[in-house]
Homo-oligomer: A and B are copies of this chain.
Amino acid sequence: MATARRVGTETSKTRAQMLDAVERLMVDKGYAAITYRAVAAEVGVTSGNVQYYFPTLDDLLVATIRRRTDQSLDRLLNMLQARPNQPLRVLWEFSNDETVAALTMELSALGHHRPSVSAEIRNHTRRLRDVQLAALAAAPHVNRDDAVPAPARLFLLSGIPKLVRMEEDFDVDTGHAEIVALVEAYLDTVEPAAAAPRAPGRRTRR
């Protein structure tokens, strides 16, 4: 606070490795395993070095989340720009690609006990949702049918992949194939895939 402690630059390669280590540890051993010593051991530096870049654990956690969510938002914006006439399909594929259930779960759980983490997640979720809503609003064909309001459609398109991944982690898959088929049939009707052919290397998972 009052003490003007020195902090490493954001462009440091070592710093980036530390953030990578945090993500790995989070997925492999859970949020409780994120300690200066554990991160340092992963990267192969001293714990003091980690502290040099991240004076408090909150700094380390928030930086990890921010880096990932910034990347994520950029990716969505690029996808939307590349296929402006297929917002629903883009949102669906984005949510399917993006969802790393284990990491999401750890961060959500951690958010309940770390206000700084909670604020970061809230902030990102809202920015993301605003972009998504704007994309839907800009597409005329989306609002033709009022049976399902746009916000509800967004809720389902981004939420279903999340649920599916969560259940998959516990080897439960009841209704997964059916619900995915339903959504994709709906997308075929509203946004025919042929309208803007996707690149051959397309992937919808991970």
What residues of chain A have their CB less than 8 Å away from a CB belonging to chain B? Answer: 27-32, 102, 105-106, 108-113, 118, 121-122, 125-126, 129, 133, 148-149, 151-156, 159-160, 162-163, 166-167, 169-172, 174-176, 178-179, 182
Q: Are A109 and B31 in contact (CB under 8 A)?
A: yes
Assess A149 versus B175: contact at CB under 8 Å? Given A31-B109, A102-B112. Answer: yes
Of the A-B pairs whose beta carbons lie under 8 Å apart in the complex, a sample of 29, sorted by A's number, is: A28-B113, A29-B113, A30-B32, A30-B112, A32-B32, A105-B105, A105-B108, A105-B112, A106-B109, A106-B112, A108-B170, A109-B109, A111-B169, A112-B169, A125-B172, A126-B172, A129-B172, A133-B174, A148-B178, A148-B182, A151-B178, A152-B175, A152-B182, A153-B175, A155-B174, A155-B176, A159-B159, A159-B163, A162-B163
